[in-house]
Structure 1
Amino acid sequence: MSELIKDQYIGPDEVLRKKKDYIIPCVYHFYSKPMQLVKGEMQYLYDTTGKQYLDCFAGVSVVNCGHCHPEITKAVCDQVTTLQHTCTIFLTENIVNLAERLAQVTPGRLQKTFFCSSGSEANEGAALLASIYTGNQEFISLRQGLHGRTKLGMSLTGLQMWRTDTSPVGGISFAPNAYCYRCPYGKRHPECDLACANEIETIIKTTTSGQVAALIAEPIQGNGGIITPPPGYFKRVKEILEKYNILLIVDEVQTGFGRTGKMFAIEHYGVEPDIMTMAKALGNGVPVGAFTTRPDIADKYTRPGASTLGGNPVTSAAALATLEVLKKNNLPQQAAELGLYLKTGLTELQKKYPLLGDIRGHGLMLGAELVKPDKSPAPEQLDAILEQMKDRGFLIGKNGPDRNVMAFQPPLVINRKDLDNLLNNLNDILAAIH
């Protein structure tokens, strides 16, 4: 296998050369000594030497059902050989069946969906819909949130490293996020009385015109560092928004489709969004985006609209197969159980190694924040750990504004043996550093 692969692929050095010559440099990569990945099979990836890696990042929460899942792959292949593409101006069946299925699995009264090709497009469309429905143009977003690479999506983003646009859209106010480990008020939950949520009302009354269309928020901030709000946070937020007739857009691009132990992460908080956005895991690797909402909101959007590739037959077939695999294998429940197992293991490591300052998240969306003795971020140590874990055959993500949060977002088909191997190897490396 190794010899066949070596002859078949150009190798990481040549990939890096071509990347430097032909790819815009904003497209960065992990690792000082990267490998070339050439094959995926469920929770595993393989490089040009045939080396196996346990994927603990799932393409950033994309392949929840695993790489090249045979049932999803078959659905894609069957569809692509019969009807690959038409625009939404022609009638096809898969897109309406997928919209119906989403109405069944999304929370509350969410029913009508618009399909596009990415999470950025979904958030952009959701913001447009909120403005159409309310007649208002201002927005509130949370610090450390990430909502896309479009002009508006980037302007709604509260992470400096992703705010490349030097002239962002105006009319956006930022509220503090529910970052309990580094509370901006120096308080502790529950004694804080959700001060970060209460601040939203102050922002509405002071830094906006009072004509706000929506607040957009991730239930768990992925790129922000797996920031996980405490119980009651979103209920308080929703109460404030309803008082001022402001919609709640919940961005489930990273958190959706079983990732956190429930089909959607907002279900942990018992709140019904007015609009929900999704992408990534909906297609299990096929490019897809969508926003869904209640009929009374959706029905205000009547002027012609289309997405050339959104909801095309192949994408919809992949998404329908993905939803079936999630249901048939009860992957949200598996994520809840395995996530608790992994979180318990990480907490045990935290007791031994103060470098692990905080462990947070739900299900198989967990973050371990690395800190120095004075609690300042430790990104250099994290980079060293990730490099060594890669060499041992484990691919782990990193995020946070200081890039010091180790992110565990593996395919939901991972098993306890995989997690034991992950924890044992992480323990070895932490012990050496300690």
Structure 2
Amino acid sequence: AETIQGVGGYIVPPPGYFQRAAEIIRSHGGLLIIDEVQTGFGRTGEKWFGIEHWGVEPDIMVMAKGIANGFPVGVTITTDEIAQAWTAKTISTYGGNPVSMAAADATLEVMVREDVPQRCAIRGEQLRSGLDELYSRHEWIGEVRGMGLMQALELVEDRRSKQPSPRRALALLEAAKEEGLLIGVGGLHGQVIRVGPSMLVTEQQVADALERLGRACARVDRLA
């Protein structure tokens, strides 16, 4: 499971969710596998990994992306018990590639030095404040949600019906592009705008992005 759904629309589970999920899984002899590909290495703010916000230790955890700043690296880690239970040969054509390992090592060094989890928390608060302001001005923004530098706008036809509005999401995506801002779309119906900037984004860059997004939202207001 992802600790925050990525393509699903940056959906944040409620408090206690993973504690209960772990109990159910383990009561049936299963393993809790956590996907930190999008949420890992500080993006959710304050913690290095998303699952830490719920205080649950997974049995297996997979991660990628943030670990090497865009370089192709993927990682799987497990508990000692699971690792020791694997007695067969491990075969990976590109596993342990020295160039990839060097990229990951250098990236982690910068992340630790820059205290990326705290940076994501601070810049995430700035980003969230700006998105909340947009919510107050545009009735077709049904919800703002997320953690750290994983923030989303749920777009609706109107807040009363909460009907998903993929047409507005597409229009906002294109309007933002015209303003020089690249954002993402997700959600079951393609109705969610996903904002996930670099984890080393600066205060000025967030402010600039919010201005551009604000101008893009003004364009979408013209839709019927």
Q: Same fold (TM over 0.5)?
A: yes
Corresponding residue of 2:34: 250
Equivalent AA in structure 2 for residue 248 of structure 1:
L
Corresponding residue of 2:70: 285
Mapped partners of 1:293, 1:247: distance in 2? 10
Mapped partners of 2:135, 2:51: distance in 1? 27
Give the SS at the match of 2:123: helix
Corresponding residue of 1:346: 131
Report how far residue 303 of structure 1 moved.
Answer: 0.8
Higher relative contact order (CA 8 A, sep 6+): 1
Corresponding residue of 2:174: 387
1:300-379 counterparts in 2 under 5 A? 300-373=85-158, 374-379=161-166
Mapped partners of 2:69, 2:30: distance in 1? 33
**CA deviation string 1:345-393 (max 9, x = no partner):** 1112111112111111110011111111121111111111111211211
Corresponding residue of 1:223: 7
Mapped partners of 1:250, 1:349: distance in 2? 33
Equivalent AA in structure 2 for residue 218 of structure 1:
E
Unmatched segments (≥5 aa) in structure 1: 1-216
Mapped partners of 2:63, 2:220: distance in 1? 39
Give the SS at the match of 2:88: coil
Corresponding residue of 1:429: 216
1:15-164 counterparts in 2 under 5 A? none
Corresponding residue of 2:61: 276
Give the SS at the match of 1:240: helix
CA contact 2:43–2:148 (8 Å) conserved in 1 = yes
Mapped partners of 1:336, 1:237: distance in 2? 26
Mapped partners of 1:266, 1:274: distance in 2? 12
Corresponding residue of 2:44: 260
CA contact 2:179–2:216 (8 Å) conserved in 1 = no
CA contact 2:18–2:54 (8 Å) conserved in 1 = yes
Corresponding residue of 2:202: 415
Q: Give the TM-score taking structure 1 as reference length.
A: 0.49
CA contact 1:249–1:273 (8 Å) conserved in 2 = yes
Give the SS at the match of 1:250: strand
State the aligned residue count: 218
Mapped partners of 2:102, 2:213: distance in 1? 38
Mapped partners of 1:240, 1:250: distance in 2? 15
Equivalent AA in structure 1 for residue 162 of structure 2:
K
Equivalent AA in structure 1 for residue 67 of structure 2:
L
**CA deviation string 1:231-268 (max 9, x = no partner):** 11111111222222221000111111111112111011
Give the SS at the match of 1:369: strand
Corresponding residue of 1:240: 24
Report how far residue 430 of structure 1 moved.
Answer: 2.1
Give the SS at the match of 1:218: coil
CA contact 1:280–1:287 (8 Å) conserved in 2 = yes
Equivalent AA in structure 1 for residue 112 of structure 2:
K
Give the SS at the match of 1:247: coil
CA contact 1:288–1:311 (8 Å) conserved in 2 = no
CA contact 2:44–2:147 (8 Å) conserved in 1 = yes
**CA deviation string 1:285-326 (max 9, x = no partner):** 211111101111111111112111112111111111111110
CA contact 1:248–1:273 (8 Å) conserved in 2 = yes
Q: Give the TM-score taking structure 2 as reference length.
A: 0.93
**CA deviation string 1:64-103 (max 9, x = no partner):** xxxxxxxxxxxxxxxxxxxxxxxxxxxxxxxxxxxxxxxx
Equivalent AA in structure 2 for residue 293 of structure 1:
T
Question: Identity rate of aligned residues, in percent?
Answer: 48
Seen in structure 2, the aligned counterparts of structure 1 residues 313 and 432 have a Cα distance that, compared at 3 Å, is closer
**CA deviation string 1:183-227 (max 9, x = no partner):** xxxxxxxxxxxxxxxxxxxxxxxxxxxxxxxxxx10001011101
Equivalent AA in structure 1 for residue 103 of structure 2:
A
**CA deviation string 1:266-293 (max 9, x = no partner):** 0111100010011111121211111101
CA RMSD of aligned residues (A): 1.2
Mapped partners of 2:71, 2:86: distance in 1? 27
Bigger Rg, which one: 1
CA contact 1:219–1:250 (8 Å) conserved in 2 = yes
Mapped partners of 1:233, 1:389: distance in 2? 34
Equivalent AA in structure 2 for residue 222 of structure 1:
G
